[in-house]
Amino acid sequence: MTGLRRHRWVHVRADAREAVAGQCRDEASGQAVRRCLALGWPLVARARATGDRADFHPAGLCLPLAEGRRRIATEVHPAQMAGVEEPAPLEVVAGVLPPQARAVAHELAALARTLGFTARAFGSAAWQWRTGEAYLTPASDLDLLAPARAAGLARWLEHLAAHEARSPLRLDGEIEDETGDAVNWREWVAAPASVLVKSPAGARLVARAALAEAWR
C-alpha cells in the first residue's frame, strides 16, 4: 500500500472511531485516542514502523501539554478514513504563535507566496491551532514544510536563517517532494555528503548530490 505523506491530517469516520482506538497498543492509549476522536480531532500520518500492518496507514496523535505531549501510535484502514488534509498553511497557524514569532511567520508565509509556493506548518504549533489546546512552550520549534522542487527554494532557505534571528521560536522543519521524501532543511543547507531522508516507508541515508539532481 502506498503510504500517506507524513504530517497530513487523517480524518476518521465517526463509525470507525472505536475500531481505530482499539488498534492502539495499550488501553490507556486507546482511551486517549477514543476521547480525542470524539472531540473531532484528526490523526496525523506518520512513517511506517515495525509491526504496522501492510493494509493499514500508520497514523498517530500528540496529546497536549497538560497530558505531557505524549505521542500515541495507531493505524487507520482506508475504509475507516473520512479524508486526508494537507498541513495547514503557515499564515493560518501563525495566529497561535507568540506575537514576535507570529510576525516572523507572516513574513515567511508572504515570502513563500512570492516564490510560488505555500509554506505549511506541522508539529506543536499545528496541533495547537487544530485543537485549541496548549502545545507550545518557550523551547518549542516552529516546524515548517516547503516543497523540494520549488523554484525559489534556495532563496527560501537563505531567508530562514535571517528570520530565525528575530524569532523567539527556533525555525525547524523539512523540504519535501511529491512522493513524501523529506530532508531537514538545516541538514540540507549544511550540505553533507549524505542526508537522512524521511518518507512514509521510514528513513534512509541518500547521497545529497543524487537527491539534488533528482529534485532539479
Active site positions, annotated? 141, 143
DSSP string, 145-166: EEETT-TTHHHHHHHHHHHHTT
3-class secondary structure, 97: coil
Neighbouring C-beta atoms of residue 182, cutoff 10 Å: 25
Task: Output the nine-digit C-alpha cell for 104.
Answer: 516572523
φ, ψ at 11 (rounded to 5°):
-90, 135
- Nearest-CA neighbor of 41 among 24, 64, 61? 61
User: Cβ(57)–Cβ(10) under 8 Å?
Assistant: yes
Phi, psi (rounded to 5 degrees) for 23: -85, 0
Residues in contact with 44: Cβ distance below 8 Å, sequence separation at least 6, in sequence order: 6, 7, 8, 9, 10, 59, 60, 61, 62, 122
| Coil, strand or helix at 75 | strand
Greatest CA separation for the chain: 48
